[in-house]
Every structure is written in C-alpha cells, then in structure tokens.
Structure 1
C-alpha cells in the first residue's frame, strides 16, 4: 500500500512539475509577444513567482494528511512511508523558499547622471561647488 501511494505521489509530482513548466513557458511567451493593445510595458523584473513553492507545499500537505489518516487507521508502514515523503517534500519546499528569499535584488540603474566636473578637481569638489 505504501509503495503504491509513493508511486502515485511521484506521478502527481511529475504532472505538477509539467504543469508548472508549461505555465512558465506560457508566461515568458506572453511577455515576449506584443499585443494589439496599448498599455504600460511589463516591469523589467516581475519579481519572484511563488506558485511552484505553493503548489509543492500543498502536495506535501496532502501527503501529510494522508500519512496521518493511514497511521490512525492502523496502516503503520504505509503511514510511516507517507510521513517520510511528506517531510522530504516539506524540506525541499522550505529550502527553495529560503534560497529564493535570500537572493539580493539587483541594484537599480542610476536615473540621473551628473554633468562632468569642469574645474579639473575630483568628484567631491564638484559636488560641493554645485556642478
């Protein structure tokens, strides 16, 4: 029973990963293709997409609930196997979330360039003189 459930969860995880890949391709494709509408351009960096972490976190939650139900029903080996799978999925999701949130965003490009210093001094002298 436990082995059958692990195979079913692996298949569900593969389908989930396939869906996320197709979704990611569709998102990148829609940003590349111009539309007929005149609207504001998409932001340069749309930010972190948390959908994969949420999806695999929900899968881990479903597996954990199944593990609890099996353990309460007396299926100790199957429930234990499900508990191990749930913990492994949870650790992977938490590790990916911590890794993604620890990335530093790139520095924004400067929006104003000061004119060159005409006095021949260093940049500090130019800053004090007003140009």
Structure 2
C-alpha cells in the first residue's frame, strides 16, 4: 500500500500574501484618490456655467476598473488553490464596489438636482361681492 504525501500546508504564505495584496489594493485606491483630488483643483479657476454641473465619470470609472482588477486577481487566486488570499480580495472588491456605486449615486444626485417645489396654492377664497355668495374658481 502506497502512502501519498499530504499536500504542503501554505497557510502562513497564504495569510502573508493576503495581507500584502490588501496593502497593494489600499495603495492603488489611495493613489487614485490623491490623483482625483488634485484633478479637481484646476476646475476652481474655470468660469462657472449656469445650471447644475455635469456628472463626473472619472472617479466612477477609475474605482470600477480597480474593482474589476481586484476581482480578476481574486478569481485567479481562487482557481490557484489559495484559501485566504482570494477571500480577502473578494471582500476588498465588495467594499470597493459598494463605495463606487455609492459615489456614483451621489455624483448623479449632484448633477441632477430636484426641481424647486411649486408655489403653495391658497385654499381660501376672498369674496369681493359685498356679502353675497362667493364664487371661487376652485369650488
């Protein structure tokens, strides 16, 4: 009877890889935030247009691309037999996807403001008939 050796445990390497990849993900996100913050400085000197500002798609597309890259890496690690690293990448991608969708909805709400409320309608009628029956247009 041949005894097959157990596969080598690589839990320590897996956890270290997961932590390293999370730090790399955080670095990408911080670089994107830093770059996008400096990008908006130049727009302060542009003349203001009337009406609401147009929707800024750059942050949505940037963080969406980073999220897609993290998901691809997580899937590749999962197919490679790692256990901790893909889980951390899936969690990071889920968090980043949530923040991306939240930022997109906030940006959309900023560029599409609600119309101003209509003027209130008076419910009372002022009679000028000298004491006779009052005829109001609304009833």
**TM-score range, shorter-chain basis?**
0.5 to 0.7
Aligned twin of 2:113: 105
Shift of 1:98: 2.5
Moved runs in structure 1, 4+ residues, more than 6 A?
Answer: none
Instruction: Decide which of 34, 43, 51 is 2:49's aligned counterpart.
Output: 43
Distance 2:35 2:76 in 1: 28
Point out the structure with max Rg over C-alpha.
Answer: 2
Taking structure 2 as the reference length, the TM-score comes to 0.63
Shift of 1:97: 1.8
Bigger share in helix: 1
Taking structure 1 as the reference length, the TM-score comes to 0.66
Aligned residues: 98
Aligned twin of 1:80: 87
Answering whether residue 26 of structure 2 is matched by residue 10 of structure 1, we say: yes
Q: Which runs of 5+ in 2 are unaligned?
A: 1-16, 117-139
Cα RMSD over matched residues?
A: 2.0
